[in-house]
Chain A
Amino acid sequence: MRSEILYPGAFPMVRVELASGEHIKAESGAMVGSSPTVDVESKMEGGFLGALSRKLLTGEKFFFQTLRASRGDGEVLLAPTVPGEIVILELDGVNEYMVQKDGFLAGADSIVIESKMQSLSRGLLGGEGFFILKIGGKGTLVLNSFGAIHKIELKPDQEYIVDNSHLVAWSATTSYNIEKAASGWVASFTSGEGLVCRFRGPGVVYIQSRNPGSFGAWIRQFIPVSE
């Protein structure tokens, strides 16, 4: 399996080449096009209960789709729903990533996806909800973001502060605490930042350059209100 990003920028697409018999899993609805040799199967990753808990808990789609090159080599085109960049990671079997619920686009069949409950303060204040995806295993992982994706590399004990709704994914070797953006509560919220996450290395943090919640709030003012 080989993947490349087409049209990098705001409206990218991923082309994945599959050898005969190879398959990948993708977010349901992510397929744009494929060779006639590729079959689409719907699969409840982790069984019915796993899928159900993922749907209920993370709000992630109930089914992942499996794209299988069952009748010879083929290719698939995949795209996310929102405008924004795509990043391809190669998981080595040791590195694990925490991915916020909208961040997963596709992955090799050998990667392992599970829903994970966050601690109370992180779930309540972190902006990703109580449940996130924990993705490990070995193989290609494709993530998407809202806006551009930015990689922050942290050395051991190096710290970095990220606004809580800009997170896409972070390695399991990092840890983070939620804190106020400014020293006082009032200043924190009047500054427009509210709460931030203080990450501590080592590891990698992927952030998105746009905040989906703020964008939603901004666009809402242009939607006519029906009487």
Chain B
Amino acid sequence: MTQFSPNALCFGEEFPASGAPCVVQIERHGLTITFESGSGDRAQEMVPFAVFAVTAGGLDHDHLVLKWGEAQRARTLYLKNPDLIRAFREAAPDHLSQPFEQAAERVRQVRHRHRVMWGAVGGSIVAVALGLWFGSDLLVEMAVSRIPVEWEQKLGEAAYRDFLSHQEVMKEGPAVNAVEEMTQRLADQIPNSPYKFQVTVVKSDVVNAFALPGGYVVVFTGLMKKADSGEEVAGVLGHELNHVLQRHGLERIVKSMGVMAVVAIIVGDQQGLIGLMRQVGVELLTLKFDRAQETEADLTGLQLVYRAKIDPSGMITFFQKLSEKDEGRLEWLSTHPVSSARAERLKAELAALPKHSSEPFTFEWKTVQDALGVQPVAAP
């Protein structure tokens, strides 16, 4: 007697739930199914092709399922062996090949769906990773737009007070009046601004000006001495005010705090965020804007100056002047990398705007400079 090596499972009323192992042989007119009882006796059953119903089944739809009989005599046969399935397909008469192909098609569909699903998951993971990599600016903008202006003001004010406490502040005089007038003219052109701009003149030979989040602007007397006209200083102010308006400082802070902060803001975890902001608040003064932010502030600054009917060419000449080699301490340059390309871009932008007449300031720039103690340069 040969060894009994089953190749299929048969299910039915009298068989165990896990199925009865059996040997299936494909014959010309049907299947021969051999069972072995516990005592080793074998029983054979011949089932003609005519009675079968064909489907696919099993956990992964990789079994060929043959059903026949009714009620108590109902039988279900599960075939898994690929060779056996192939042999069945070849031997099966025409009326079975259609359901067989349908079952095969269904298996292919299920497998295809699994591949598509896994592909979609893999694809979306890659997309999210790429999105985070390239779209971080967008996320940062989303996060920044959710920070209330009051927070921004508190943050800026703290840094502002801290900075001014170490500086000699110019309280009054023609320079202060001039800067206030410029700021007023610019701010008038920003309708519905949530910020109340506060500009302070600091006595220092440093050629610099900066803006803190919340509308706190600092202009150094060094910059005012360097400028040849009020319009030049106004150009710098227009640029700085736009850093505030576009919330560039917050964007930098949020970026330096990282993705966790962005997530905290978007989901509204304000407690965690305040803690994070305290940590970086100190670093506000050393904040550098990136190239895209500078360009944005340049262009919007130019438009603001233009709307305020301040001669925009002042802004351009000042940028050009700064890009020339100079012996002075041009700190504005270190935070605002000036290239001649920048002035060129502004020129091009200005050319696109319709010409209109500028209104001069009420102050004499010479008076301002005299008050600052600028020695008139002797004409060569």
Q: Does B67 contact A (CB under 8 A)?
A: yes
CB <8 Å contact, B76 and A95 = no
Q: Does B21 contact A (CB under 8 A)?
A: yes
Q: How far, in whole Å, are A203 and B168 apart by their CA atoms in the complex? A: 87
Of A120, A171, A173, the residue contacting B117 (CB under 8 A) is A120
Q: How far is the CB of B74 from chain A (nearest CB, A)?
A: 7
Q: How far is the CB of A141 from chain B (nearest CB, A)?
A: 12
CB <8 Å contact, A202 and B17 = yes
- CB-defined contacts of A93 to chain B, threshold 8 Å: 5-6, 21
Interface membership of chain B positions 75-86, coded 1 if the CB is closer than 8 angstroms to chain A and 0 otherwise? 010101000000
Of A96, A98, A153, the residue contacting B17 (CB under 8 A) is A153
CB <8 Å contact, B21 and A173 = no
Q: How far, in whole Å, are A96 and B18 apart by their CA atoms in the complex? A: 10
Interface membership of chain A positions 191-206, coded 1 if the CB is closer than 8 angstroms to chain B and 0 otherwise? 0000000000111100
Q: Does A182 contact B (CB under 8 A)?
A: no
Q: Does A155 contact B (CB under 8 A)?
A: yes
Q: How far is the CB of A152 from chain B (nearest CB, A)?
A: 8
CB <8 Å contact, A155 and B11 = yes
CB <8 Å contact, B121 and A203 = no
CB <8 Å contact, B117 and A203 = no
CB <8 Å contact, B59 and A175 = yes
Interface residues of A in 149-191 (CB under 8 A from B): 153-156, 170-176
Given known A94-B6, A174-B59, contact A120–B121 (CB-CB < 8 A): yes
User: Quick one: which of B60, B61, B63 has the most chain A CB within 10 A?
Assistant: B60
Of chain A, the residue at the smallest CB distance from B81 is A94
Interface membership of chain B positions 51-77, coded 1 if the CB is closer than 8 angstroms to chain A and 0 otherwise? 000000111110100010000001010
Interface membership of chain A positions 101-141, coded 1 if the CB is closer than 8 angstroms to chain B and 0 otherwise? 00000000000000000011100000000000000000000
CB <8 Å contact, A175 and B6 = no
Interface size of A in residues (CB-CB distance below 8 Å): 24
Q: How far, in whole Å, are A173 and B7 apart by their CA atoms in the complex? A: 14
CB <8 Å contact, A156 and B76 = yes
Given known A173-B78, A202-B76, contact A119–B114 (CB-CB < 8 A): yes
CB <8 Å contact, B17 and A95 = no
CB <8 Å contact, A154 and B121 = no
- CB-defined contacts of A121 to chain B, threshold 8 Å: 117
Q: How far, in whole Å, are A95 and B10 apart by their CA atoms in the complex? A: 11
Interface residues of B in 1-30 (CB under 8 A from A): 5-9, 11, 13, 16-19, 21
- CB-defined contacts of B80 to chain A, threshold 8 Å: 94, 96, 172
CB <8 Å contact, A98 and B11 = no
Q: How far, in whole Å, are A117 and B61 apart by their CA atoms in the complex? A: 14
CB <8 Å contact, B121 and A95 = no
Q: Does B118 contact A (CB under 8 A)?
A: yes
Of A92, A119, A120, A173, the residue contacting B58 (CB under 8 A) is A173
Q: How far is the CB of A167 from chain B (nearest CB, A)?
A: 12
Q: How far, in whole Å, are A174 and B5 apart by their CA atoms in the complex? A: 22
Of chain A, the residue at the smallest CB distance from B17 is A153
Q: How far is the CB of B69 from chain A (nearest CB, A)?
A: 11
Q: How far is the CB of B57 from chain A (nearest CB, A)?
A: 7
- CB-defined contacts of A170 to chain B, threshold 8 Å: 59
Q: How far is the CB of A206 from chain B (nearest CB, A)?
A: 11
Interface membership of chain B positions 117-135, coded 1 if the CB is closer than 8 angstroms to chain A and 0 otherwise? 1100100000000000000
- CB-defined contacts of A176 to chain B, threshold 8 Å: 59
Q: How far, in whole Å, are A153 and B19 apart by their CA atoms in the complex? A: 10
Q: How far is the CB of A89 from chain B (nearest CB, A)?
A: 9
Q: How far, in whole Å, are A173 and B67 apart by their CA atoms in the complex? A: 14
- CB-defined contacts of B5 to chain A, threshold 8 Å: 93
Q: How far, in whole Å, are A31 and B67 apart by their CA atoms in the complex? A: 45
CB <8 Å contact, A156 and B21 = no
CB <8 Å contact, A155 and B59 = no
CB <8 Å contact, B58 and A94 = no
Of chain B, the residue at the smallest CB distance from A89 is B18
Q: How far, in whole Å, are A175 and B60 apart by their CA atoms in the complex? A: 7
Q: How far, in whole Å, are A121 and B113 apart by their CA atoms in the complex? A: 11
User: Quick one: which of A92, A96, A173, A201 has the most chain B CB within 10 A?
Assistant: A173
B interface vs A, CB < 8 Å? 5-9, 11, 13, 16-19, 21, 57-61, 63, 67, 74, 76, 78, 80, 114, 117-118, 121
A interface vs B, CB < 8 Å? 92-96, 98, 119-121, 153-156, 170-176, 201-204
The contact sample of 13 A-B pairs, CB cut-off 8 A, is A93-B6, A95-B9, A95-B18, A95-B21, A119-B117, A120-B121, A156-B11, A171-B19, A173-B57, A173-B59, A175-B58, A202-B78, A204-B17
With A93-B5, A172-B60 given, name 5 new contacts (CB 8 A): A94-B8, A95-B9, A96-B80, A119-B117, A173-B59
